[in-house]
Each structure stands twice: as C-alpha cells, then as structure tokens.
Structure 1
Amino acid sequence: MSPAKRSVEIMDTTLRDGEQTSGVSFSASEKLTIAQLLLTEVKVDRIEIASARVSEGEFDAVKKITKWAKANGLLHKVEVLTFVDGDVSIQWMQQAGAKVMNLLTKGSLNHLTHQLKKKPAEHFADVKEVLALAKKKGIDANIYLEDWSNGMRHSPDYVYQYLDFLITQPVKRIMLPDTLGILTPDEVREFISAIVERYPGIHFDFHAHNDYDLGTANVLEGVKAGAHGLHLTINGMGERAGNAPLASTIAVLNDFMPGIRTNVVEKSLYSVSKLVETFSGFRIPVNKPVVGENVFTQTAGIHADGDKKNKLYFSDLMPERFGRQRKYALGKTSGKANIENNLAQLGIQLSDQDLKKVTQRIIELGDRKEVVTQADLPYIISDVLDSNTIEDKVRIENYALVHAKNLNPSVTIKISIAGESYEEQAQGDGQYDAFMNALKKIYKQKKIELPLLTDYAVRIPPGGKSDALCETVITWKHQQKEFKTRGLDSDQTVSAIKATQKMLNII
C-alpha cells in the first residue's frame, strides 16, 4: 500500500500581490471573474484579493467577491492583506464582508528598527492588540513576516523571538516571505527546515519572489523543507520580477515530488493564464514554461519527424495536462459556436448583465467579420468589462482617416466633451499621429494638456487571420502616474482610437 501523500495548500495572490505589477489595475468585474475562476475551476485553496484601505475601487471589488463567496460557501477561502493599525483595517474588512486577514508585520530587525523605529516588545504589543481585536470581531488571522528572508540572514534571533511570541497568539498561519527575492534554494531549505522543526504543529506558508529567476526552484525547496502552503501568482505577476508562477510550480510539484499533492486542476491553468493576460495587459513571453504560446509548438522539421517515430521529443510535460494541444505550425482552425458554450469551455463565468453586453458586442462584430473565434473572446470580454467602468463624458462622434501615397495622412475628427461638440483637422506621420494632432488642437482650446503616450502595443489573438480582432494597449503618463487603456477592433487605428477615448474619459 502506497504511503499517504502530504497535502500542500496553494494560496493565489494574483489579485493582491500580482496586481502590484507596474501598470496593472483590475476592475471590480475583472477581479470577480478571476476570483470565481480560481476557486471553482482552478481550485486553489485560498485567494488573497486586496490590501485594506487602498481605494474605493478596491473596496467595491472586495465587496463583490465576498458577497459571491459567501453565497457559495467559500468566504473562508478569501483573504485580505491588513496592517498593524489598531482597528482601522479590521473595520475596513468588516464593511467589505471579509473574514480572513493576512496581517503584515515586521520579519527583520532592520525593517523594525528603521521603518517602524520600534523595539521588538513594542511591535509585539501592537500586533497582539490587533490580533485580539480580530478575534473579538470573528476574523481569522494569518501573519506575514515581511522581509523574513533578510531577517533569517541577518537577525535570526529576532525572528525566533517573534515566532516564540506568535505561537502564543490566535494565529492560524504564519507566512514566511522572501520579500526581495534574494534567497538561494539552499537557504530556503535551511531556513524553513529549521523553523518547521522548531515549531511542529504550526502551519507555515512560503511566499517566493522571482528577482533572481529562482522563484520556482525556491518553492520546490520550501516544500521539501516542510512548508505547509505556497503563495503563487498567475503568470508570475507581482512587484519587480514578480512572484513564483502558479502553473510552473504545480507542474514541478506534480512531476518531481510524488509524495506531495495539491488540489489545483492542471487543465484549468492555461485558460486562467490567458484571461489574466488579457485583463491585465501584462503579456506572457511566448517561451514562458507551461503557459507561453510556443512551449508546446514544434517548428524544426527533425522534431516533427521524431514525434512521429515513437514520440522522440515528448516528455512528461504534455500539453493535454494543461488543456492545450501540441502544435507544429502557428494558427488553428476556428468556427462560430454558441457564446455561452464557448465561455464555459474557457472556464469564464459572467453575470447576466455582463453576458448580455458581451453577446451584443459579438453580434456587432459578426456584422463586420465572418467569424468570431474562441481566441477572440477574452479580448472582447476585457473590452466590454473595461468600458463598463469608465463614465462616458467624452465621445468621439465622427472621424475621417485619409491615407494616400506620397501624401501625409490626415484626419478630421468631431468629438463631444460634456455635451459640447468640437471639430478639427490635422496631418501626421501616420493616421493615429494625425488623429492625436487633431485631438491636441481641441484640448489646447480647452487649455488641457493631454497625457504623454509612453507605450503602444498591438496584439492579435494567436492564429488570427488578416481580419482578426486587434487589441491596442496604450500606456499613458499623466501627473506623474502611469495607466493603461485598451481598445478592440478589427482595424488597428480604430482600436487605438477607442483606447484613446477611454483615456480622455479617465482624465
């Protein structure tokens, strides 16, 4: 009889730590969709969805997720990052309907001394007060030891002093983050082994960052050392170089640690990866393990020949495990299908209201395209949900784009701003440049400076034909802050104009 496998909890923090990826901000509807997919299709054990006190938008997103989770008996799986701030974060959580807090505390003497300017006993007393309040309000508490990795390197006596205190408190899990992604696999194994042995019976999570591209290797060593849970993100999103990626970690655990089991459904990893890529505008490298477009594509003739002869270029990392197919060329066949069935195949759940809007958008596209492929759907959903969050005060009513050989492109536009109409004409180096020049003339009349365009990216769904949908993602810099807008159309210039209209409404 084979020995029982040890279970490792998977906590996905894409909606909290992953959203700290530079330039990424999910709308409330997007967050809800991702949360639903993670808990019901991917089946991670827990999700960390937000930081307390960040913004009204964040508060609205948390309320939507907790309402859905409560109705489906999943509220205990939804977690929020909180702070040592008396009852402020706890009140925010109560109003948002959350029941599990991840309290951010200091895991190194360096952070404690120079950021909080406090002695260990003072910090412990503050933490104790917050934990007591949380227990009184019926909120479960997990504890982050921020900068724990540096703490173990440079002030281990402090770390153990703090852990000795925490095991006396009403804490469900203790989270050990490599906050700056500095640890080597050997250090991860050494540090976590020592802690797990010293505190048997206590649940420890490991939270790895990927600054040296060691995230996946480090979580593997963390599990070998006895970590009871892992914090991961879809596509490795997160601050700086990001976090340990969900898909790669699950593949590694399943293939190289036969004594370990998780609840994650491998077949759902690719669909959630693509959805998050679309919602975030954070592009997945084509060679990214497991979820990259090229990782299951054979292009060399010798490889294709070898696959026919006893599958010479196959490994255990089979694409079918992740809901994918092996390819030998770019592109794939597509056809019309029932919209809801396509959404179900992608593992996407939408509210009736959002589904109606997405359906209407697909009907409009059907009038202009012969086909709308399943690969188009995440782009369409992203465009519709993103548009729902922006109040339509500025409308681009009409435009005429002229591009002739040996003549500068020119544009005539008519826009409405708060009910007032403006019309202008301009030339430029390209059609979109001419459009922006005409727009600048209008906004100059209103004495408003437009944001600086810092990045312009165009994407077509994999396998798209010449009439495929085109998604334009534009990054703007306005008042020292960057933000992105998206536009979707079969014409590249028109998709850029739609993205620009969203920018005009945001500012």
Structure 2
Amino acid sequence: MKIKVLDTTLRDGEQTPGVSLTPLEKLRIANKLDEIGVDYIEAGSAITSEGERESIKEVTQQGFNAEILSFSRPLTIDIDYCLDCDVEGVNLVVPTSDLHISDKLKMTREELIDLSNNAVDYCKDHGLTVELSAEDASRSDISFLKSVYQNGIECGADRICLCDTVGILTPDSSFELFSNFKDFKVPVSAHCHNDFGLAVANTLSAIKGGATTFHSTINGIGERAGNTSFEECVVSIDRLFSQFTTNIKINEIYDISKLVARSTGVYIQPNKAIVGENAFAHESGIHSDAIIKNSATYEPMTPELVGRKRKFVIGKHMGTHGLDNRLKELGLHVNKTQLQHICNDIKNLADKGKTVTDVDLQAIADNVLEINHEDRIKLDELTIVSGNKVMPTASVKIIFDGDEVLNAGVGLGPVDAAINALKSLDAFSDVDLIEYHVDAITGGTDAFIDVIIKLQKGDKVVSARGTEPDIINASVKAYVAGVNRLLRD
C-alpha cells in the first residue's frame, strides 16, 4: 500500500524559533522536495505576510508534480489569500477540542461546525482541494470529532487529518484513535508533534491504524520539540513495514537534510537517526571488526541507502581492524606489530582527553613507520589588525612549494579574516571549512586554545588540530595542517 507524504517544512518547520527562510531558500527546498518525490508541499501560510505570499507564489509557478498547499484558518480572508497565491489546495485547520473551542475561539461546538462547513463550502466553490485538519484532535471528544469530519466531507472535503497538536499520543493510543477513521471514504492523514519524543512512533502507529498520509518536516524541525521527522518516518516505512511504501527517493534523504540544516541554521544533533553525523560512525573495536566482515552485524541499513558513507572513528575504543581499515584509506600499509604500536599510541593520547584527528593519526603512523612528509605549505608570517572601529583585516605570507606568497583578507572577526586571507590563495581555493570547534584546555586569559577543524576537498574530508595560547594562530595552524594533508592525499 502506498503511503503519501505531506511535507510542512516550509510552514510548520519555519515556525521553529529563530528560523526565517528567504523566498530563494524556500524555493530551493521546495524544488528538492518535489525532486525526491514528496506528494504534497505545504508552502506556507498565505495570511502571514506579503512576503510569505510572494514566496508561495514562487513555488506555485514552478509546475511541480507535488500538490502545493497553503495553511488556512476557516476564515474567508485566509482562503482569499490562498487563492491569490494560486495554490491547488488548502490545509484547512479547525480546532476541535473543547479547550480550543471555548477558551481560544470563545464559541460553541455547533458554531464551530458551522464555521468549518462554511469554510469548506467556500474553498470548494473556488476550486480548491481541501484537507480538513482537526487541531488538537488527540484531546477532542471522538463523537464530536467524527461529526466535524462527516459534515466537512458532505461539504466536499477531499481528505481529513488528525493533529496531535501537543504530542500527547502514545503508539497505542495513536493506533486506537486512527482506527476509528479507517472506514471513512476519504484519505486520512496524521500530523504529530514531538513534545514527548514520540512523533515518529505515533505516526507509524497511525499508519498501522489506517492513516494513508503523514505530515512531517525535514530533520523534524518545528515549534517546541518539533514535528514528525521526515527522514526517520520514510526510512522506517521502507525498512520496517513490508506492507507499505512511499514515493520518496530514499538515497537523496541526506542531501535534503543538509540543505534544510544549512538554510535554517538548525543544528542536526550528531546522534540523530539516519542523518546525524554519528548515524553510521563506528569506534568500538568489536563493532568495527564485525562491520568490516558484514555490515549487517551492527547496521540495520547500509549508509548508501540514504546517501551516506560509513566511517570508522579514531579513539580509545577502536580496535586494530577498524584502525587498519582507516590507515589503508590514508594510503598507509602496516604489519601487525606496527598496527598494534599505532593503536597503543592512539589509546594513550585519547586517555589524556584528547580528540584524535586524522592529522594526529598521520603523525603517530609516520613516527612508527619513520616516514616524514615535507609540508608543501609553511606559514611564514601572520599579521592581524582589529578593533571596535576597524574591519578585522589579516595579511599572511606563506611558503608554497618553496615560493613566497603574500595575501590579505577581511572578515567578521580576526579568525575569519585570517582564514579568508588563506582561502584566496590557489592552494586553498577549492577547500571548504565544514566544521570548526574551539576548546580552552586550561583556565585563565592565557589558556591554551585547542582548535579542531574539518576540511573538505571534493569527496575527501580530513580533520586537523592547532593548539596555541592564541586562538588566531591555533586556527591558522590547524587550517594549514589540514590543507597540507589534503595536498599530500
């Protein structure tokens, strides 16, 4: 059975505190959502602002395969704004719990049904597809909820949606709730929130209970604790439910996850399922050994399924099999004695609380193998000018393959200026700084600063470290070390 997906990243997801997407960012996300097979895209809430309406119009003009909707209250003014945006349908949201009807709307149940019916009639008279969504359905009287839906369907509602607005359902109660509506003659949608961390589980139970569509957001973003996570729900259906499928191109899930994270600035926690940086990372020696022999031993799916790659993390828990695999990736081949020596040195470093980067591994391996690499880039001079009335400016002189190279750059701060000065040079031009982390190793204003960065060139990613009392020097040292490593590779 085909389960359809309504993505509300551009509406409910944008309601995440601190998130405000530009029209171009919305269009990029909508384009990718359509490309990967999302069935319905809720492009925004037309009543919000003129800028929001312009963003929705940009999306509706693209001729996407997905049906484009706008959020709407059961009010004529909202629906008219939706019509102005040329959307195909509306997510018509009607509060149905007594708490919302009496305390928020200050009306009776009968008045609420009249309001809902009139809104559905108005939408249908103007050629709109209607998904009638019951806000706070999970706290509504079930008989009254059915009455709202039955009235709406008689007026022409095309789909109905039960909203767990404050995330109070459990998997059992979700299944029971949705089972009450599986015999309705229109498709049933599930819209769950994650206040108790159960949105995905509740959505999956809703599908088992009879829902044929679910609402979600990329990375699970949204108000408070967020919404049902698109990627977790889609992959769970694909891997765990043999009787259900979706239209989603699963191998592109990671790409859209990163796109939304970059556009919204909402950080993806490292241990997040499917798309977190640690989702397919292994450090434990037992796990790494088994993974190399058969990935199914400790992975419920291959990383390639969702557009990812597996990685073995360097640390004190790793074993020789995972370490040997990582060394071979770096082009280093060692015997058993050398491998054990390198492994012991890594554990000693990790036991001191140090993060072991690729540069550390390279240095340890070089020492054991007595290999010395001549760095192609050496930092000769670094000068910084900064102040409260001065644009931070940096000038650098490096020795690149024996030649002196001078350059300058400006930035938002002195570290940014120094990195920008380097990035303008040919050796650094196609290198991207994808992660930057700073720790103060000791206390006081003269503390040693430990800067750990990740750099990417093409499909190659390396880590590097710089440790200095000066954060600018430490940052530049790490950056140059990482680029040298990329050039060696």
Shorter-chain TM-score bucket reads: 0.5 to 0.7
Establish whether residue 138 from structure 1 lines up as the match of residue 127 from structure 2. yes
Partner Cα distance (1:92, 1:327) in 2 = 49
Q: Structure 2 CA distance, aligned partners of 1:258 and 1:414?
A: 59
Q: For residues 189 and 286 of structure 2, what CA distance do their matches in structure 1 show?
A: 45
Moved more, 261-270 or 55-64: 55-64
Identity of aligned residues (%): 33
Q: How does 1:377-392 map to 2 (within 5 A)?
A: none
Q: Could you tell me how far 1:412 is from its partner in structure 2? A: 4.5
For the residue of structure 1 that corresponds to 2:61, the secondary structure is helix
- Counterparts of 1:224 and 1:171, CA distance in 2: 23
Match of 1:443 in 2: none
Q: Which of these residues, 49, 54, 58, is aligned with residue 55 of structure 1?
A: 49
Classify 1:413/1:169 alpha carbon distance in 2 versus 1 (closer, same or farther; 3 Å): same
Distance apart, 1:159 and its partner CA: 1.4
Q: 1:464 to 1:215 in 2, by over 3 A?
A: same
The whole-number CA distance in structure 2 between the counterparts of 1:22 and 1:214 is 21
Post-superposition Cα deviations, 1:37-92, rounded to whole Å, max 9, x if no partner, equal: 0111x2111111101211222111111101113xx4x3x61110011222x12221
Give 1:83's aligned residue: 73
Partner of 2:163: 177
Distance 2:210 2:86 in 1: 33
Cα distance in 2 between the residues matched to 1:460 and 1:79: 40
CA distance in 2, matches of 1:241, 1:32: 25
Q: CA deviation at 1:401?
A: 4.3
Query: Are 2:27 and 1:10 aligned?
Result: no
Alpha-carbon deviation of 1:302? 2.6
Q: Which runs of structure 2 are paired with 1:404-419 in the superposition (5 Å)?
A: 410=387, 412-413=389-390
CA change 1:312–1:464 in 2 (3 A) is closer
Cα 1:457/1:28, change in 2 over 3 Å: farther
Counterparts in 2 of 1:171 and 1:57: CA distance versus 1, 3 Å: same
Q: Does 1:110 align with 2:87?
A: no
Q: CA deviation at 1:94?
A: 2.2
Larger radius of gyration between Structure 1 and Structure 2 = 2
Residue 62 of structure 2: SS of its match in structure 1?
helix
- Amino acid of the residue matched to residue 91 of structure 2? N
Secondary structure (helix, strand or coil) at the match of 2:162 reads strand
Give the letter for the 2:74 counterpart: V
Deviations, residues 206-230 of structure 1 (Å, cap 9, x unaligned): 0111111111111111111010110
SS at match of 2:160: strand
| Partner residue, 2:235 | 251
1:298-351 CA-to-partner distances (Å, cap 9, x unmatched) read 1222322222334463433210101111111479999xxxxxxxxxxxxxxxxx
2:61 alignment partner AA: K
Please state whether the residue corresponding to 2:291 is helix, strand or coil: helix
Aligned ranges for residues 26-425 of structure 1 at < 5 Å? 26-40=21-35, 42-69=36-63, 72=64, 74=65, 77-86=67-76, 88-151=77-140, 155-197=141-183, 199=184, 201-311=185-295, 313-329=297-313, 401-402=384-385, 410=387, 412-413=389-390
**Higher RCO (CA 8 Å, separation ≥ 6 residues):** 1
In 2, Cα distance between equivalents of 1:168 and 1:266: 37
- 8 A Cα contact 1:7 1:260, kept in partner: yes
- Structure 1 residue identity aligned to 2:276: G
Q: Which runs of 5+ in 2 are unaligned?
A: 315-325, 331-382, 393-412, 416-435, 439-452, 466-474, 478-489
In structure 1, distance between residues paired with 2:32 and 2:414? 40
Shift of the 414–284 alpha-carbon distance from structure 1 to 2, 3 Å rule, reads closer
User: AA paired with 1:321?
Assistant: L
Residues matched between the structures, number? 348
Cα displacement (A) at 1:491: 8.1
* Two-structure CA RMSD over aligned residues (Å): 3.0
Contact 2:46–2:85 (Cα < 8 Å) also in 1: no
Paired with 1:163 and 1:248, the residues of 2 have a C-alpha distance of 29
Report the CA distance between 1:26 and its aligned residue: 0.9
**Contact 2:116 2:152 (C-alpha < 8 Å) held by counterparts:** no
Q: 1:447-470: per-residue Cα shift (whole Å, max 9, x none)?
A: xxxxxxxxx999966735569xxx
Q: Deviations over 1:464-497 (max 9, x none)?
A: 5569xxxxxxxxxxxxxxxxxxxxxx989xxxxx
Q: Does 1:20 align with 2:15?
A: yes
SS at the partner of 1:188?
A: helix
Letter in structure 1 aligned against 2:29 = I
Q: Find the aligned partners of 2:272 and 2:134 in 1 and give their Cα distance.
A: 30
Residue identity in the other structure for 1:145: A
SS in 2 for 1:7: coil
